[in-house]
Amino acid sequence: MPRSISAALIPCIFLASLHSPSMSDPKSKFSHLPRAAAGPLTCPHQGNSVLQSSQFNKGSAFPADERSAFKLHGLLPPNIQTLDEQVQRAYQQYSSRSDDLAKNTFLSSMKAQNEVLYYKVRPEAWSRIITFLTCDQLVQTHLKEMFSVIYTPTEGDAIQDYSRLFRKPEGCFLNINDPDRIEESLSSFGSGDDVDYIVVSDGEEILGIGDQGVGAILISVAKLVITTLCAGIHPSRQLPVVLDCGTDNEDLLADELYLGLRQHRERGEKYDDFVDRFVQAARRQFPRAYIHFEDFGLKNARRILNRYQSQIPCFNDDIQGTGCVTLAAMLAALEVSNVQLEDTRVVIFGSGTAGIGIADQIAETIATKTHKSKDDASKQIWCIDKPGLLVKSLGQQLTDGQQSFARDDHDWSENDRDLQSVIKKVQPHVLIGTSTKPGAFTEDAIREMARNVERPIVFPLSNPTRLHEAKPEDLYKWTDGKALVATGSPFQPVNYNGTEYEIAECNNSTCFPGIGLGAVLSQCRLMSKKMLVAAVEALKAESPALKDSNKPLLPDVENVREISVKIAAAVIRCAVEEGLAQQDGIPDSDSELQEWIQAQMWEAGYRPLVGGN
């Protein structure tokens, strides 16, 4: 199923930061706002303390006046350099590392020393590659090679080797056997208005590599990096958290260097109480922070989201982010194919966290936009998993989320619950794959679908590429070029009968950062279902396919920061309409609202430092 970040997404994020216009205009009438990333920055440190702070450290780029004001003479070489010169040196150091894991470790070390340089060197690295390469294929090859260092698969390797690579802690580590220290631990990261965005994981299901215990802190860190790159969330106002509940990974338990709790995972009441104590303590310590749940286990992810989404502003990217981006692509495809939402029939093949998250978002949107009940909207969706079509007689085998989509047994014999039979009987407009079962969308199944609808909408979303339910080129061939396709990994355009079709990638990073930005800036009390629908509509409105059906169903993530502004604006407007926004002074007009948002988005650049607390 689609991940929030992929090896091929990251280049586009970096390219976005290269080519997008400045989001922090010091002349903006909103440059006075507390989160505006322009003007002087108050630094409470002196001497070595300044150099040890990743937020304030400029290394060799400190100008003469700041070296005097902050007592840095003698602590730095005398030559004053520019940020561009630092980037050049950092990129050379990065390039000299022997393998991808060493490069990943180098970047992590840089982040701990100087966050501006860390965020700046990455797009600059891609700029240098593009400067020296002229063949598009070579550019793509090198970009993919480098971006795999930043995230999957190398980030997965870093998480698996977390305890062996450990140098300096980053984030907050909470221990299920010491819940009385939760509040004290969180207080180390500030209070009140110091934190805007929290990503928390218990590490049970990480990046397709399963239970990684305390190493999950790195997935929380990585998701926050993406919110900064894609939506300008201030890195100094973020908090990565890991809930160490033990691990069922026997390799970790047997590793004498493992840094987490050396015990099997806690379940049941003790686990629920630990999660609740974290949530309540976080709300007391950071009363306006937005909490993003990441990579929780299948049995806990939805249950936790259901418990807290009516109490606090929170979000689960595996459930809601995946659902939002897929739904945006689906709505664009329905508009292209002239099918009304209230008439749409959807089959989802693979009903785990991602599949049911997509089903839930589709049902919620049908209910919101057509005024149907949620139950009636759910009847437009057929979910298939390992036992076949989900039916009510499966009982306790079904998760809470799956039960909403289980069909009556008397309508379906045991012999017609496979994918081919369901397609033949349902005649779906939309087929979505989140099964990780390669080749599951067979030629017979797709041709059966194409016999009954004019423009089959087919989304093989499992990733990596080798796990896709079908290849785009086959889908166009089997439907005579009529299919509308989106995938969970990047694919080259398909040429069929002389027509080139561009393939959309359903990637959460076009959506969740903008949603989070809207939540942070509106200071919303809750993340409502209508706010998510507004985000989906904003993303769908950017679909190139609405102007040319041969174009992709989703916008290119190269423009992700601009997309994030529009999604954030839609979320904020909806929060205001629903009475959920707590921030004063939100502009009424669209143009002013977008300027207000842009003024508060962080960019990688050194700001003048002034002394103070």
Which residues are annotated binding-site positions? 294-295, 318, 463, 507
* Rounded Cα gap, residues 172 and 559, in angstroms: 32
| Amino acid, res. 319 | I
155 close to 105: Cβ distance less than 8 angstroms: no
316 close to 351: Cβ distance less than 8 angstroms: no
- In Å, how far from its chain's centre is CA 441? 27
* Rounded Cα gap, residues 485 and 503, in angstroms: 6
Contacts of 604 (CB under 8 A, 6+ apart): 17, 116, 117, 118, 119, 120
* Rounded Cα gap, residues 108 and 415, in angstroms: 53
- In Å, how far from its chain's centre is CA 437? 23
381 close to 346: Cβ distance less than 8 angstroms: yes
Task: Give SS3 for 223.
Answer: helix
Q: Kindly report the backbone phi and psi dihedral angles of residue 199, in degrees, each rounded to the nearest multiple of 5, phi listed first.
A: -110, 125
Question: Binding site for a divalent metal cation: residue ranges?
Answer: 294-295, 318
Q: Whose CA is closest to 503, among 541, 475, 469, 467? A: 475
* Rounded Cα gap, residues 356 and 400, in angstroms: 10
Helices (H) and strands (E) in the chain, counts: 25, 16
In the residue annotation, 151 being an active-site residue is answered as yes
Catalytic entry in 151, 271, 308, 501: 151
Q: Whose CA is closest to 232, among 568, 576, 583? A: 568
Rg (CA), the chain: 24
Q: Whose CA is closest to 279, among 313, 233, 254, 253? A: 313
Residue 501: beta bridge partners?
494
**C-alpha torsion 512→516→519→522, nearest 10:** -120
In the residue annotation, 223 being an active-site residue is answered as yes
Q: Which residues of 344-375 are buried (b: 16+ CB within 10 A; e: fewer)?
A: bbbbbbbbbbbbbbbbbbbbbbbbbeeebeee
Residue 173: beta bridge partners?
242
Question: Binding site for (S)-malate: residue ranges?
Answer: 463, 507
For 96, the token pair is: 């000299």
Catalytic entry in 58, 103, 223, 471: 223
113 close to 57: Cβ distance less than 8 angstroms: yes
Contacts of 155 (CB under 8 A, 6+ apart): 104, 207, 218, 219, 222
Q: Which residues are catalytic?
A: 151, 223
